[in-house]
Structure 1
Amino acid sequence: MSVQEMTAAPTAVKEKHHLAFFRQSGWLMIANVAGGMLMWGVHFLAKRIPEEEYGIFGTLLAVTMVVPALPLQMVFAQQTAKALATGRERELSGMIRLMWMGLTALWIVFAGVALFKQAWIVEQWKLGSAVGLWITLPTLLMALWTPIFGGVLQGSQNFLWLGWSMIFNAMGRAFLAAALVLLVVGNAVSLMTGVLAGMVAAAVVAVWQSKPFWSAPIASFDWRSLLKQVLPLMIGFTAFQFLFTADTMFVKAYFTKDETAFYVSAGTLSRALMWLVMPLATVMFPRLVHSAAKSEKTNLMGIVLLGTAVLAACGAISLTVLGPFIVKFVFKPSYVEVATKVLPWYAWAMLPIAMTNVLLNDLLAHSVYRVVLPLVAVVGAYAFALTRFHASLIQVLQTLGIFGLLALAVCAWFSFGKRKRN
């Protein structure tokens, strides 16, 4: 083989991997945007139900969001990618089954307590009836199952069916919710029934497509070694999920129902930015885990970070310019004034969070677990700051933006250190 051929071969392989990456990322972007638009369509139904019922829906939906879906999915994505790279498929099968049964048992206990205390819950949350709680409980179970098997799909790089799982989730949610609100009754129960239908569809697809991994013969695995890998991942991604979502919970605690509704409407539009950029990190993570397990070098993170920054910035600019028109089109007239003022702040606060997500995925894929404690410290300080700085909705978002930048700085520091050592 000539020198030119020897040089060209790795280049061709690298280009092939990059093409596959962009093809898979492109598909997940399509699935995310399509699914996101369908889920966003549920908020059009806000015009058809009383504001009080929409507030109840927000409360019940927030309960399902307490499930650490992102950390769970990333744990199983990491373990699946590493098992496939090192030939430990039987150990992976045992881990999946054990976690599946364990989380289901935990849900049974939680559901039993919730049903025993349902009268108190209905009164405290001002639900009106227990039906919303009954529908939320199985939704929580699906919210526990979906990230397990979605993580297996991600780790095995089965992005085709991971994308379809997202789309079926959104279709079930949007179509059934719309049918119930428009044809039966416009209330929170109808909307939550749609959420349940979507979660069931997503879980069924993920369980079905990941069957070769969880139905394989099992082998024992080293619990201590597993915990050393899993705990930092769970804590790190839980901290990120808190940074990404906790502002809404604090707003509910410190502001009126109307102000919360306005804030949620702006948040729905702003978090749509993540529909565009998160697929890049989703596809990147198992590839980096696989490369790290085989001690292979890759420049994928730099490409993903640049793409995320450009897409998120373009999205923030678009929402800043077009946001007032979009708010008028989607939400009630009473939402427009406050949501329009809040929207630019919300959109730009998402930019550092999106970039933090990329760097954190890269660091944890390479087992740089030293980043976890500083990140947790930043997030803890963020939670404390929100209890002190909430004079207005804009001040809440300014706090989110500042701590998003701090989280980005922490991840950038450790990422720079990792590259310097390499």
Structure 2
Amino acid sequence: MTRAWVLHPDIKAPGTRRAADLALEEAVSLALALPDLEVVGATVVPLRDPHPGHLFGTGKISELKTLLEDNEIELVLVDGPVTPVQQRNLEKEWKVKLLDRTGLILEIFSDRAATREGVLQVEMAHLSYQRTRLVRAWTHLERQRGGLGFVGGPGETQIEADRRAIDEQLVRLRRQLDKVVKTRELHRKARAKVPYPIVALVGYTNAGKSTLFNRLTGAEVMAKDMLFATLDPTMRAVQLPTGADVILSDTVGFISDLPTELVAAFRATLEEVLAADVIVHVRDISHPETEAQARDVRTILDGLGVNEETPQLELWNKIDKLDDEAQEVLATRAARDDTVFATSAITGAGLDAFLEAVTYALGEERRQDDLRLSFSMGRQRAWLFEKGLVETETQDEDGYLLSVNWSARDRARFESL
């Protein structure tokens, strides 16, 4: 086990909204998500102006050095961005290995990615991160999947050689990834032919998405009180109260200050969100910073380019953690908005109303229509029969007369042919 200490630099910059103690708590949770770490302690470090070369001031560096030596710390986790120069200087001063927030999240991603695509994308993100830090660098490419050992820095010539090696490795990984993505695209097209609507669960990490997924599908997805418990898309069929089948997709949890390269690295799991017919934003309504977390999720969804017309529902999860009075207040607030539901994935409270809303949002109500197709529209006619939408058909000299029973979704797909 590697003995680690977590530091949260509390920079009082304009627009800072997160409470330092809660940010530190989240950083510790991130660290605990790595199985080989023993988090010995954690400290909030007030910081007015970050030092360009050392992040902290001389006095604070000396004070922290004593703290780290007394506790025999091998790894320091800084909850925030650390430049390569700052990282090199702090490691030299403290004689420990140091990871910033991005590096820590990458280590977790490396440990959790399960599918071939997830592994490839983590490796690419990790290599891109390493490339920017060759000023103090990792020894070579043996660190591309993680590892927490102390390493030294190579000379300038070695830096150039490492950079070239990383670029070549990135090219190889992109080629492999292209093949995997094509395979996923074939699977997606196969699903589109079913065609089941996709309902994507999104939310801040540890909001309870996987617990909800397991309750609705009976699946055994990893659902622990741990950040980033889910890192690869998991999809299962679920039958709604109306009898309609949908595909439920569980996705990686979002987190504040998630670097854009990491969002890109997990495009695989987020692609399902872009393709979703309904997006369900699962919130841990019992968390003290639930509003800030919700804003972070909405910001990332906007950044992904989610279609504004895609229906979105909000699930206020974990009401079982609140007292009766708080639950009543939330239920009253949720009742004022037909897209918000106060629920508990643990007890099942409120889920029936939520599932009815999903049915409504999908617009699966069916209607009877009469269609006329010319003889040249054989492809469209075949599609209607393939989907089982045709009730009756007659033929005259101008083409086909069909009576179809379909949903608005079916009609939209037909018109796009």
TM-score surpassing 0.5?
Answer: no
Tell me the TM-score normalised to structure 2 length.
0.27
Name the TM-score, length of structure 1 as normaliser.
0.26
Higher RCO (C-alpha 8 Å, min separation 6): 1
Structure in which a larger fraction of residues adopt strand: 2
